[in-house]
A = this chain, B = another copy of it.
């Protein structure tokens, strides 16, 4: 029975990794679509959304079944409740990738403009945060998780710069308002994805050390 439970926990971990793989791919493709003005990449993100949604329900079911049948305590209980939260964060990241893909399709239908916003750089920081948050989860590595909290501050600054510069750009050339608004929302989606990766990192710290660092800036700043 104990052996079986360990296997079930391992299966849950694998499902979360598979889900994060799908989500990472969706983020990557949505940004690629934007960079290359490639409708096909965006379409693939839209088509794969239902797979991510389906996986969310499967993982929730799996976790709830484990809570009911195995009645875990201590660190196993903490692992399963974290898995439920991580699952929800992953699904919301997938939603943001869909939002980016939809905005990308709208942008492709507009004239290109040289907006002063470095989406590829912002995306690469965010994609690395997502990857590391799941790595940290698998390894129960609180140190790696703390690195993600620092990257989140960097993304907040990038977002802040992006929105200020896009407003100036629109003011200087009102012909670019439509494109600039789309780009601003895309930057905002990336900032949201970073927030979700941060939630996962906080869960990893909770899992590894039993310390809840949500809403505690003094712990984050260590």
B184 touches A177 (CB 8 A): no
Contact across chains for A53 and B214 when beta carbons are under 8 A apart:
yes
- Please state the number of chain copies in the assembly: 2
Q: Which residues of B contact A48 (CB under 8 A)?
A: none
CA distance A163 to B182 in the complex (A): 11
Contact of A74 among B68, B163, B174, B178 (CB under 8 A): B68
Closest B residue, CB atoms, query A81: B64
Contact residue range for chain A? 20 to 34
Contact A67 B81, CB 8 Å, known A170-B170, A181-B184? yes
Name the one of B71, B174, B215 contacting A170, with C-beta atoms under 8 angstroms: B174
- Interface status of A119 (Cβ within 8 A of chain B): no
Q: Which residues of chain B are near A67, meaning CB under 8 Å? A: 67, 77, 81
CB of A57 within 8 A of chain B? yes
The docked-state distance in angstroms from the alpha carbon of A50 to that of B178 is 37
Say yes or no for A44: interface residue by CB 8 A criterion.
Answer: no
Interface residues of A in 21-70 (CB under 8 A from B): 50, 53-54, 56-57, 60, 64, 67-68
Contacts of A178 in B (CB 8 A): 167, 171
A87 CB → nearest B CB, Å: 10
A73 interface hit (Cβ, 8 Å):
yes
Asked whether, in the complex, the Cβ of A215 is within 8 Å of the Cβ of B57, the reply is yes
| Nearest CB of chain B from residue A184's CB, rounded to whole Å | 7
A contact residues vs B (CB 8 Å cutoff): 50, 53-54, 56-57, 60, 64, 67-68, 71, 73-74, 77-78, 81, 84-85, 88, 163, 167, 170-171, 174, 177-178, 181, 184-185, 188, 212, 214-215
Name 16 extra pairs, CB < 8 A, besides A57-B214, A84-B85: A53-B214, A54-B215, A56-B215, A57-B215, A60-B212, A64-B77, A67-B67, A67-B81, A68-B73, A68-B77, A71-B71, A84-B84, A167-B178, A170-B174, A171-B174, A171-B178
